Amino acid sequence: MEGSFLNQSQYVNMLKRRSTASAGIQNRFPMRGCPVGQYERLIMMAEDELTQYSTDARKLEKLRQKVGLSVTAAERSQVKETLLAEMPTDPISKLIIDQRQMVALPFWGIAGLGLLLGISMFQPLDFVATGLGATIAIAVQRYGWKLQAKRLVLQTLLEIEGGKR
């Protein structure tokens, strides 16, 4: 039991690593104009809500409570402006936001077919299709997940702003 606790030097080292990691995030997004910590935290909160099996209205309500308590009005407006500028407008990204699993499904099929043909016909080149299909499918799923989280945060911020007027 005693080995599971951190001593003081381990705790200090952990805090130093976190501060350098957050500095890396701030350097990665220097031109946003909003507090990077709040922006990233809101996106992470939205991703957490996406993991819950509930309706979109329930997710919005739960996220609205969290955002309303933890983010100031000025930070909310800055994050909202950043999200409005970042949200893609092209039709493919909009399709991925709404139907990310449907867009990734053909690539999962290519991966499965490459695996099936590679095993059954002893064709090593078919395993390349498996790797490419799985890689593309995972990339589409991740991109869609991030976009869905951003859309959820944006909807929440717009709902909060609309409720105060």
pLDDT, one tens digit per residue, over 43-83 is 988 988 888 888 888 988 888 888 888 888 888 888 889 88
Given a cut of 50, is residue 143 above it in pLDDT?
Answer: yes
Of the pLDDT bands very low, low, confident and very high (cuts 50, 70, 90), residue 8 is low
19 burial class (0-12, 13-18, 19+ CB within 10 angstroms)? Answer: exposed
DSSP string across 62-103: HHHHHHHHHS-HHHHHHHHHHHHHHS--SHHHHHHHHHHHHH
Q: With 0-12 CB in 10 A as exposed, 13-18 as middle and 19+ as buried, what is 49?
A: buried
pLDDT-based confidence at residue 161 (cuts at 50, 70, 90): confident
Q: Virtual CA dihedral for 63, 64, 66, 69, nearest 10 degrees?
A: 170
User: One-letter amino acid identity for 50?
Assistant: L
Q: Between the ranges 23-32, 36-45, 128-137, where is the mean pLDDT highest?
A: 128-137
Q: What's the Cα-to-Cα distance from 91 to each of 82, 97, 103, 140, 149, rounded to whole Å?
A: 20, 10, 12, 14, 18
Q: Can you give the residue ranges of every domain in the chain?
A: 42-164
pTM of the model: 0.70
Tokens of 105: 């499904």
Q: What is the pLDDT of residue 30?
A: 40
- 11-35: per-residue pLDDT in tens? 666 666 665 554 444 444 444 455 5
